[in-house]
């Protein structure tokens, strides 16, 4: 899954693709490099970010999404949003999947609004909200608590009529470095939920802060953790660098 950030302040590539021509060129590049999904988002979710309203989101998202669907009609576009109205509007013009960093918590209408479209829905775990999620996150047992949340929200989503649920443990969302590494180490315990698992490790702080450098220098560390994630049951890698991630997947497959 290639990342298309239409935000102005994303931690890694903010502002690079918030012009339609640049977005189209970047999506074409990612598809040519082997991306199966493109995840499109306009609301920043880096620590400290304020919640974006659905109206603001739609103004920034929908014109570009329409161009993407027109130019790449056979591709699959996932929409990174926690607003049900945004999700519904995007699905109405041809989006293929919803990726909700709050797992249905920030907008209680998310499940019922997207269920009629019969599209896959990604439930991610986040402690708190982006604006406060890194203010001293605490767990008694990170993996057990993430698993409990994912089970609870999966049951609720399926009860609302969503047939295809994917899970995402939410690396970096309300978690310390120690929490992130423990969760990655124990990632295989989430596979008994019997849902495809997406992981988002690409250039995140658990890599560059641990190694004491910047996101721009975190590609090698990203690839290393991608391999660990695949070995522990991940099905989809959400990435900034499609070529390198595709190579990692291909080599991992060769070993299996």
Give the DSSP letter string of 135-203: SS---SSHHHHHHHHHHHHHHHHHHTT---EEEE--TTSS--HHHHHHHHHTGGGGGGG-S-BEE--TT
CATH architecture of 2-254: Alpha-Beta Barrel (3.20)
Mean local confidence (pLDDT), 70-84: 98
pLDDT at residue 45 is higher than 70: yes
- In terms of phi and psi (left: phi > 0; alpha: psi -120 to 50; beta: otherwise), the region of 183 is alpha
DSSP 3-state helix, strand, coil percentages of the chain (rounded to 5)?
45, 10, 45
Determine what percent of the chain is predicted with pLDDT higher than 70.
96
Residue 89: Cβ-neighbour burial (10 angstroms; 0-12, 13-18, 19+): buried
Determine what percent of the chain is predicted with pLDDT higher than 90.
86
Q: Verify whether residue 46 is a known catalytic residue.
A: no
Mean local confidence (pLDDT), 231-256: 97
Q: Considering 204, 209, 216, 253, which one is annotated as catalytic?
A: 204
- The model's confidence at residue 10, banded by pLDDT at 50, 70 and 90, is low
- The model's confidence at residue 56, banded by pLDDT at 50, 70 and 90, is very high
What gap in Å lies between CA 54 and CA 191, rounded to an integer? 33
Domain coordinates in residue numbering, the chain: 2-254
pLDDT at residue 17 is higher than 90: no
Comparison of pLDDT for 193 and 134, the residue scoring more: 193
The two tokens of residue 176 are 């310390």
Instruction: Confirm if 113 and 85 have CB atoms less than 8 A apart.
Output: yes
Q: Give the tens place of pLDDT for each residue, 145-167.
A: 999 999 999 999 999 999 999 99
Beta bridge partners of 3: 39
This prediction has a pTM of 0.94
- The model's confidence at residue 173, banded by pLDDT at 50, 70 and 90, is very high
Q: Considering 58, 88, 113, 238, which one is annotated as catalytic?
A: 238
- The model's confidence at residue 47, banded by pLDDT at 50, 70 and 90, is confident
Q: Verify whether residue 216 is a known catalytic residue.
A: no
Instruction: Confirm if 111 and 148 have CB atoms less than 8 A apart.
Output: no
Instruction: Confirm if 64 and 6 have CB atoms less than 8 A apart.
Output: yes
- The model's confidence at residue 64, banded by pLDDT at 50, 70 and 90, is very high
Averaged pLDDT of the chain:
94
Q: Tell me which residue of 26, 101, 115 sits closest to 57, measured CA to CA.
A: 101
**What is the CA 28 to chain-centroid distance, rounded?**
20
49-63, 145-159, 165-179: range with lowest mean pLDDT: 49-63
pLDDT at residue 15 is higher than 70: no
């Amino acid at each position: 899954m290639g990342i298309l950030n239409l935000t102005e302040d994303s931690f890694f590539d903010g502002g690079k693709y918030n012009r339609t021509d640049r977005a189209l060129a970047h999506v074409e590049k990612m598809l040519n490099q082997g991306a199966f999904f493109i995840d499109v988002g306009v609301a920043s979710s880096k620590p400290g970010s304020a919640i974006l309203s659905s109206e603001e989101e739609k103004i920034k998202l929908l014109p570009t999404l329409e161009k993407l669907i027109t130019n790449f009609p056979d591709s699959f576009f996932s929409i990174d949003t926690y607003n049900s109205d945004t999700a519904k509007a995007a699905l109405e013009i041809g989006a293929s999947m919803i990726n909700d960093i709050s797992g249905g918590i920030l907008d209680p209408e998310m499940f019922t609004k997207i269920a009629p479209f019969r599209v896959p829905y990604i439930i991610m775990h986040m402690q708190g909200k982006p604006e406060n999620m890194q203010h001293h996150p605490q767990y008694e047992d990170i993996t057990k608590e993430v698993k409990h949340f994912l089970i609870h929200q999966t049951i609720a989503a399926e009860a609302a009529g969503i047939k295809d649920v994917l899970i995402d443990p939410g690396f970096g969302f309300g978690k310390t470095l120690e929490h992130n590494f423990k969760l990655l180490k124990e990632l295989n315990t989430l596979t008994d939920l019997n849902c495809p698992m997406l992981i988002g490790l690409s250039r995140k702080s658990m890599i560059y802060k641990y190694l004491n450098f910047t996101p721009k220098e975190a590609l090698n560390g990203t690839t290393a953790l991608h391999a660990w994630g695949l070995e522990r049951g991940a099905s989809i890698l959400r990435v900034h660098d499609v070529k390198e991630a595709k190579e990692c997947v291909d080599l991992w497959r060769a070993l299996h």
